[in-house]
Every structure is written in C-alpha cells, then in structure tokens.
Amino acid sequence: MPLAAIRAVSKGQNGIGAFVLQCKRLDFHYCDWAGSSRGMNEYLRTHLARFAASNPSIEVTVSPKPRQHPVIKGVYVNGREKAICVRNMTPAEIINKVQLLKTDSGEKMKKSHRAGRNMVTSINESVRGVWDPFHRTGERFKI
C-alpha cells in the first residue's frame, strides 16, 4: 500500500459561511407576588413580545416561579446554561441582561491572559512546526 489516508473530521467555523446564533433558548422565570419581580413583570408585559418577534431563532419560554427571585436562563448550543438573577431590576436593566445572554457564546468564562502570556488559539498549525525529540512508538520517522 503506497499511500494511505488518515481519517479526519472537518471542523466547523461558525460565521465563515453560515452563522448560527449560539443562544438557542431563553427561559424567563417570574413571581406574581414578590416585589423583586416587579421590573421583570413589566418587562414581560411590555418588551418580551417585541424581543421574541425580532429574534425568531431563539426559543422563548415564560414560566412562574412562585416565592423566588426572577431569573433569566439562557441555554446554548454547546449544552451549557447561564442564569442571571434579575431581582429588583428595572426593565431597562433587564433589557441589557437579555442582550448579554443573547449574544453570549455559552462558553465558560476564561481569562484571555494566563500567567502573563497571551493565549493564542488557532486551528491552523504553526508554520514552523513543533519539534519533539520523542517520536511516536512504532514509527521511525514522524512524517
């Protein structure tokens, strides 16, 4: 067998070609009785319908959560969830929080700088290559 191929799977690059919004669902939890939900209730009454209509790719659910603080929970394509407690907030503040959840990638918060060094992430391999003295076992040369 002169030439064999190595099995690979291509990697998705969101935004090159198609862009898929990473936030797939927003859950709004409110309480009818408690005062901390006052702003949230007003947001649900006045702003939510417009938000849902202008963002058709996000599934919106509203459900009561009696005797609890109001919470907005975002569910993301990567399977993670992010919840923000919006107690005592005004509708204008809640709009900002919703925007935050909508534009989030769903990834865990990470420091972009680690131990004083810049973390560079690229899916392309370095031009120079990484030299290592210990090659894979069973092969004489790593080509």
Q: Between 82 and 111, how does the x/- string for binding to another protein read (CB under 8 A)?
A: ------------------------------
Give CA angle at 74 (73, 75), nearest 5°: 120
Smallest separation, CB 53 to another protein (Å): 11
User: Of the two residues 6 and 115, which places its CB atom closer to another protein in the complex?
Assistant: 6
For residues 40, 92, 97, 13, the Cα torsion angle rounded to the nearest 10 degrees is 130
Q: Per CB under 8 A, which region of 14-22, 62-70, 91-99, 109-117 contacts another protein?
A: 14-22
The answer to whether residue 3 forms part of the interface with another protein (CB under 8 A) is yes
Question: Do the beta carbons of residue 136 and residue 129 sit within 8 Å?
Answer: no
Among the listed ranges 19-27, 29-37, 41-49, 95-103, the one in contact with another protein (CB under 8 A) is 19-27
CA 111 to chain centre: 16
**Which residue is listed with tokens 């919106």?**
60
Q: What is the four-CA torsion angle of 76, 26, 51, 95, rounded to 10 degrees?
A: -100
C-alpha torsion sign, points 13, 11, 120, 22: positive
Residue 107, number of CB atoms within 10 A of its CB: 11
Rule CB under 8 A: is residue 17 a binding residue for another protein?
A: yes
Is 130 a binding residue for another protein by CB under 8 A? The answer is no
Distance, in Å, from the CA atom of 25 to the CA atom of 58, rounded to the nearest integer, reads: 5
Of 40, 58, 72, 89, the one binding another protein by CB under 8 A: 58
53 binds another protein (CB under 8 A): no
Q: Which residues bind another protein (CB under 8 A)?
A: 1-14, 16-18, 20-22, 24-25, 56-61, 76-77, 123-125, 129, 131, 133, 140-141, 143
